[in-house]
Structures are given as C-alpha cells and as structure tokens.
Amino acid sequence: MRFLSETTALTRLSAIRDGFRQRVVSEYELRAKDCSTCETQGVCCTDEHFVNVRITQLEAAAIKCVIDNLDVRQKQAVRERVNAASEKISSGTEFFACPLYVKGTGCLVHDQAKPMPCIFHACYESRDDLPPEELLDDAEAAVADLNTKTYGVGTMLPIPTALANTLRTNSNAADGRRAPSSDRASERK
Ligand code: SF4
Ligand code: SF4
C-alpha cells in the first residue's frame, strides 16, 4: 500500500474539518447556547469527567503544527500540561482536563485543529436541536480512514496521550538529525 504524505493528509484533514464545521455551525449551532454568555465558560474543556476526547495520530500532528507556532513560553506551558495529563492517564485514570485549554484564550486549536467531537459539542436547551450522532460518526470515520492511509494504523487515543506521543516522536526525530555534539556550533470555548 502506498501511504499518503503527512502534508497531503493534513490538507485533506483540514478540508474534512472545514466541511464538518460548516454543517454543524450552519445547521445546528445557531440553536445552541452562546459560549460567550456561559457562566461556566470552558468547563466543557476542563471538567475531567466530561472531556474524554480521543484523536488520531493525524489530528495530533495537526495540533502539533499549531503548538509549533506558539511563542516559547506558551509552547513550554502546553508541553508541561500535555506531559502531566498523559502521565496521569498512564497511571490509570481515564479522566483529564484538556491541556489545550487556556483561561482567557479558550481552545488553542479552535481555528486550525479542533477535534471533531469538540466542533460537534455545544449546549442545547432541547434534545431535538442536537445534531445527529451519525454526523459525528461519519466525520470521525473519514478522519480515521485518512489516518490509516497516512500511517497504516488507526488507534485513537486521549488527546494528552496522542499529543505526548507526537511531540516525543518529533523531538526524537529532531535529535536524530542533530550533528554529533563535537560538531555542534551551538539551539473558544
Ligand atoms: S459549550 Fe462549554 S463554554 Fe459553551 S455554553 Fe456549553 S459549557 Fe459553556
Ligand atoms: S481541543 Fe479545544 S475544544 Fe477540545 S477539549 Fe481541548 S480545549 Fe476544549
């Protein structure tokens, strides 16, 4: 099987996400509560018993692109939150506050790399206004298929675990490319 390059896959992921968001926002979210008026803004991202979002390796790669463009201080803070949450998950808990949420800013990946369940989620007064689960299922299936075509495997992991793996892999790859030390000159919701 010939795999897609990660760059191509990220472009396709972005198109899937945009189409999905467009449908959720235009057909359903207009009946949802406005997050800017929420008395518990961000609780949907920080409540450990609520978040439980799982993502593919490809989505983690998309999130990493956003993290890479943060300033050094923000980048370090996200890495620390990711590592702390993933260690907690490794030690046996399935609950986590999302390391991508920043008070006062909201979701760091809102525009470019928001996972499908997060785009899907909103607070509705009536159950009748909720988007159908099949809409999310179809979008997640499309992402899983793209992920398999890119990496050949399709495990979905909690956000912190998937991100910690991706950040570690990329950091190891960077270390592998580095010259031997003696040759180194120097480094909404
Ligand atoms: S989605 Fe989150 S921020 Fe928005 S209204 Fe619901 S709990 Fe509040
Ligand atoms: S990815 Fe963004 S929207 Fe989703 S739980 Fe994390 S901070 Fe919230």
pLDDT tens-digit map of 157-167: 999 999 999 99
Helices 133-151/6-27 angle, 10° precision: 170
Q: Which residue has the least CA distance to atom 7 on ligand 1?
A: 44
Position 51 in a domain: yes
Q: For the chain, how many structural domains are there in total?
A: 1
Domain of residue 80 covers 6-170
Structure token pair of residue 101:
């949420």
How confident is residue 184, by pLDDT bands cut at 50, 70 and 90? very low
**Ligand 1: residue whose CA is nearest its atom 2:** 44
Rounded Cα–Cα distance for residues 112 and 109 (Å): 6
| Structure-token pair, residue 165 | 């793996």
User: Is any atom of ligand 2 closer than 6 Å to the C-beta of 60?
Assistant: no
Q: What atom in ligand 1 is closest to the CA of residue 188?
A: 3
Strongest mean pLDDT among 50-54, 90-94, 97-101 = 97-101
Q: Are 17 and 136 in contact (CB under 8 A)?
A: no
* pLDDT (mean) for 29-57: 91
pLDDT at 187 over 60: no
pLDDT the model gives residue 52? 83
Ligand 2 atom 5: residue of nearest CA: 45
Q: Which pair of structure tokens corresponds to residue 82?
A: 């990711």
Pocket flag, ligand 1, residue 32 (CB < 6 Å): no
Tokens (6 digits) for 171: 């950091």
Residues 6+ apart with CB under 8 A from 121: 44
Q: Is 82 in the pocket of ligand 1 (CB under 6 A)?
A: no
Q: How far is CA 65 from CA 26, 56, 90, 184, in A?
A: 27, 15, 24, 26
Q: What is the pLDDT of residues 93-107, one digit of tens each?
A: 878 899 999 999 999
Examine residue 176 and state whether it is found in any structural domain, yes or no: no
Please tell me the distance from the alpha carbon of residue 155 to that of residue 147, in angstroms, as a whole number: 9
Alpha-carbon distance 91 to 22, whole Å? 38
User: Whose Cα sits closest to atom 4 in ligand 2?
Assistant: 118
